Amino acid sequence: MKTIHFAHSNEEFIKYLLEDANHFKNYNNKLKKGIYKVGNFLIGFDVNEPTTLLESEFFYKEKNSKPKQITYTKEEKKERKPTIYIYSTHQTEGYNAGSLKEFGITPDVMMASYLLKDRLEKEGIKVIIEERKMSDYLKAYNLTYDLSYYASRAYAEDILSKNEIDLVMDLHRDALTKDLSTISINNKNYAKILFVVGGKSSYVNENNAIVTNLHNKIQNTYKGLSRGILKRDSSVYNQDLTNHSILLELGGNENTVDEVMNTVEAIAPILANHIKEAYGSKNQTENTK
């Protein structure tokens, strides 16, 4: 198995990028070549199977719909690993390109998702990244960007109907000045995080309890890294789909790749522990039935 390296500067990131053809999208074993990886994500279809462009599924469901219940055999339950589903409603939210700009690369929340996936997998967590483009859904249904949550909801419902997920994360990037989005801890710069809770969700109490627990654990180890919890009473953020949904703002538009990666390294073990605990608690409950 190939070892994934984490760069500690934009220059080092470029080095790994060139070595692996596309480091931050090294997520799909089926896609063996760098150009194949890029084509699959950017174009949105399998370059070796052109018919997949015609077979792409777009589906629209009512706002109050819920994913169907998943059933597994005992054997399947034994094989299942603790799992997180990461999607980004606003996939194009970018970071400060820094020295990556000369290579025509704009780091974004999708890159952050892949970096988080790499780190969580080292902790024994199965990670499902939403690779379908929100813009494709919006275009298919003639929806504007401000309705992106309809797109991410449809994709999330699809994943939840086919997989047992222990944590659902909508990963965003905030728009803040550098002084508000960055903290230095032990002479290392980190991109600050913020948890956002949809107060209108039917699962508001359960989801708020999750982010409160995560915030406290992060603060205990990296004081000041978390900006806290923002509860918006008039919003849902698709958090009515499950009682284990969180929205995480990772850094701001002025944060660099290395600052984002430092934060990923810091929060991944804490997220992994929570996911494992949720997985273990669920299995214990099922075994007592």
Residue 98 is predicted with a pLDDT of: 80
Residue 67 is predicted with a pLDDT of: 59
- Domain parsing of the chain, residue ranges: 10-287
Q: How far apart are the first and last CA of the chain?
A: 39
186: left (phi over 0), alpha (psi -120 to 50) or beta: left
d(CA 44, CA 56) in angstroms, rounded, equals: 9
Following DSSP, what letter does each residue of 84-95 receive, concatenated? EEEE-SSTT-B-
Residue 179 is predicted with a pLDDT of: 95
SS3 60: coil
Residue 46 is predicted with a pLDDT of: 39
Residue 20 is predicted with a pLDDT of: 42
Indicate the pTM of the whole model.
0.76
CATH of the structural domain 10-287, one choice from 3.40.50.2300, 3.40.50.1370, 3.40.630.40, 3.40.50.970: 3.40.630.40
**What φ, ψ does residue 52 adopt, rounded to 5°?**
-65, -20
Residue 100 is predicted with a pLDDT of: 77
Residue 196 is predicted with a pLDDT of: 98
DSSP label of 3: P
DSSP label of 145: G
- CB burial readout 190-200, b (16+ within 10 A) else e: bbbbbbbbbbe
Nearest to 25 by CA among 10, 11, 46, 40: 40
Q: Which residue has the tokens 């018919």?
A: 51
Per-residue pLDDT of the chain (289 residues; tens, 9 = 90+): 444 445 444 455 544 544 443 434 443 333 333 334 434 444 343 333 433 333 333 333 344 455 555 555 555 556 789 999 999 999 999 999 887 777 778 899 999 999 999 999 999 999 999 999 999 999 999 999 999 999 999 999 999 999 999 999 999 999 999 999 999 999 999 999 999 999 999 999 999 999 999 999 999 999 999 999 999 999 999 999 999 999 999 999 999 999 999 999 999 999 999 999 988 877 755 555 4
